[in-house]
Amino acid sequence: MKSPDCYRDLWLFVFWMALLMPLCLSAPAATILLSEVTVHTVSGETLSPGQVLIKDGIIAAVGKTVAAGGATRIDLTSQHLYPGMIALNTLLGLTEIGGVRATQDATEVGDYTPDVESWIAANPDSELIPVARANGIAYFQPAPQGGIVSGQSALGRTRHCPQGASARQRKRQIH
């Protein structure tokens, strides 16, 4: 049985959260300039280095140079900024229908398969990729499963492009 002090601490935490949450939510949003960052835009153009201006929590401008006024500047040298969310370590493109073996390409035979390149096996015509894109997934990392060393993965786009061309092969990960 838990001690009464445990419940008292929990109730104090809930009380302070209930009291402070409205103050945090009503705080004015700042103007922020993300600079010296590699910006991967939705249209496909990559700005390196680029700048992104955020006003009141909304992206106001994107470009090589952006007029910032009195914005708080955040230096993101050697960082990458992507639009949308990134689904990491996913089976997107490797599995279409869970109950149909012919649409499963996530695992290989053997415990050590470091030569497997999952982005080549990812189906660019998968019906699940446009669904993921519509739900805000801009990039995905199809990761091989099973074994001790399952293979390699790379970051891919959810936009339609030729097989294998969507993978960003510079930054591979081994699983």
Q: What is the pLDDT of residues 28-87, one digit of tens each?
A: 568 888 888 888 887 768 888 889 888 887 788 888 888 888 888 888 888 888 777 888
31-40 and 80-81 as β-strands: parallel, antiparallel, unpaired?
parallel
pTM of the model as a whole: 0.51
Q: Single out the residue in 65, 83, 101 at which a domain terminates.
A: 83
Residue 47, SS3? strand
Q: Single out the residue in 51, 83, 115 at which a domain terminates.
A: 83
| Domain ranges, residue 22 | 1-83
| Domain match, 74 and 128 both | no
Q: Would you say residue 21 has pLDDT above 70? A: no
What are the structure tokens assigned to 13, written together?
């935490």
Give the total number of structural domains in the chain. Answer: 2
Q: What is the pLDDT of residues 102-142, one digit of tens each?
A: 777 777 888 887 888 887 888 888 888 888 888 888 888 88
